[in-house]
Amino acid sequence: MDELESLKGFYDRYPEEWAAWREIVDTVEETAREFGFREIDAPSVEPTDLFRVKSGDEIVEQTYSFEDKGGREVTLIPEQTPTRSRLVQQRKDLGTPIKWFDTSKRWRYEAVQKGRDREFFQTDIDIFGVESVEADAEIIACAATIYEKLGVADAVEFRLNDRQLLDALLKAMDVEGSKDVMRVIDKKEKLSREEFLDNLELEGVDRATAEEIDELTAISGEMESALVELSDKAPEGDAADDAIERMHDLYDVLSAYDVEDMCTFDLSIVRGMDYYTGLVFEAFSTEGDLRALFGGGRYDHLIEQFGSREVPAIGFAFGYSTTMHLLKKLGEWPDEALSTDAYVLTISDSVREIGLEYAKGLRSAGLTVETDLTGRSVGEQFGYADRINAEYTVVVGERDLNEGVVTVQNMDSGEEEQVPKNEVVENVLDRL
């Protein structure tokens, strides 16, 4: 039989590689916990109809959807927002704000490309039940803090817009079918100016108005100055004025979090047409091609589609594959190596049980500890301790034990020290 390989877009990650991934996941989750988000656990498979509510029948073509043995149409989850909406609707007793996070695998059946896989990790971080700039700012601050901890904050930019603001501006210009026009605006970055204007005209926008939309959506940059420029150029209207004022308020809270320097305003950021309702944002790498890392925003009317409750919500889904490429490019990807605190080396079978007692004590103190499992020679055990990057080797031998000591060796420097046999655990802990 030929050797079997993993499917395209699915990845095998051996311990050394996964150790690096785990470090990044831990940083994201640690940050979420610091901001008061609580971890949930949800199914990996849901009824396909749950995703049809949000995305329609076309979702079946983009996902791993199939009929299970009970004849039910089910889907490996491509995202967790519908699941979270279901969870919120099921529990009417949940007090607000509801602040949840979860890291788990997701699946999408789509073309495999750099930073986009068919099986991928994602951490969703959301706030439900609160409609305020404070909630908006906390979500962005949490995302920004993750990149600060990863050491690449200077290479990440958050581009912010408000869908209500854009909608108010289009209505003030008497633009009909604003959703279709927004779809064109969402593609602006990929179009030439002429293509952009032509596409707007295809949606029924006259040339003069199309040029005005082009001028307005070109407004971007540092938030305060961009909003002042927008106030000067925008058509008059209470809705537009209110939305601009809300963005000013958001800037003030972001400044209190000290993350405003990572944020810019960009009226061309639109994102998902069918569910985002207010603030939308995308995180971009400023290194090279301005690749999008992930996005998020406010989706105040989505959850009511899954039940009777109207629940405002805002959140983002952290993208690991794209962030991995950025960290590797900047030399900030963690070392892909095993890490072991101590290896307990037993010189003979007669001291094996004593060695296991030391290992048990060290493990009880929270250390990562290995012992010999195969009856290796002393030299082979030292070689294995070196391969697993043990920081210290505890050498347990009959002669030393009879003299009341055990040898502890620093594997990096090679230095050895004999310590009292009853103080081995405390000695190793003091060294680490």
Contact 175, 181 (CB under 8 A): yes
For position 203, what pLDDT does the model report?
A: 87
**CATH dotted code for 340-431:** 3.40.50.800
Q: Is 276 annotated as contributing to ligand binding? A: yes
Is residue 138's pLDDT more than 80?
yes
For position 53, what pLDDT does the model report?
A: 87
Tens digit of each residue's pLDDT (9 = 90 or more) over 34-79? 999 999 999 999 999 999 988 888 888 899 999 999 999 999 999 9
Of 223, 314, 231, 252, which is closest to residue 277 (Cα–Cα)? 314
Of 174, 244, 167, 159, which is closest to residue 210 (Cα–Cα)? 174
pTM: 0.90
Q: Is 79 annotated as contributing to ligand binding? A: yes
For position 1, what pLDDT does the model report?
A: 65
DSSP 8-state secondary structure symbol assigned to residue 2: P
> Rounded to a whole number, what is the distance in angstroms from the first to the last CA of the chain?
48
d(CA 190, CA 64): 29
Lowest mean pLDDT among 240-244, 262-266, 307-311: 240-244
Q: Is 251 annotated as contributing to ligand binding? A: no
Tens digit of each residue's pLDDT (9 = 90 or more) over 225-255? 999 998 887 777 678 888 889 999 999 999 9
Q: Is 392 annotated as contributing to ligand binding? A: no
What letter represents residue 340's amino acid?
T
For position 103, what pLDDT does the model report?
A: 97
d(CA 40, CA 388): 33
Residue 377's pLDDT band (boundaries 50, 70, 90)?
very high
Q: Is 80 annotated as contributing to ligand binding? A: yes
Lowest mean pLDDT among 223-232, 284-293, 352-361: 284-293
Is residue 273's pLDDT more than 80?
no
3-state helix vs strand vs coil in the chain, percent to 5: 45, 20, 35
Is residue 115's pLDDT more than 80?
no
Q: Is 122 annotated as contributing to ligand binding? A: yes
Helix H or strand E segment including 344? strand 340-346
Of 314, 370, 337, which is closest to residue 162 (Cα–Cα)? 314
What is the average pLDDT value for the chain, to the nearest integer? 92
Q: Is 22 annotated as contributing to ligand binding? A: no
Tens digit of each residue's pLDDT (9 = 90 or more) over 14-25? 999 999 999 999
Q: Is 126 annotated as contributing to ligand binding? A: yes
Give the strand order in the sheet containing 263-266. 38-39, 98-107, 119-128, 313-319, 292-298, 279-285, 156-162, 263-266, 220-222
d(CA 135, CA 105): 26
For position 166, what pLDDT does the model report?
A: 87
Tokens of 235: 């058509």
Give the strand order in the sheet containing 73-76. 45-47, 73-76, 65-67
As a whole number of Å, the CA-based R_g of the chain is 28
For position 343, what pLDDT does the model report?
A: 98
Tens digit of each residue's pLDDT (9 = 90 or more) over 78-109? 999 999 999 999 998 999 999 999 999 999 99
Name the H helices within 173-237: 178-186, 193-202, 207-217, 223-233
Contact 388, 370 (CB under 8 A): yes
For position 290, what pLDDT does the model report?
A: 59
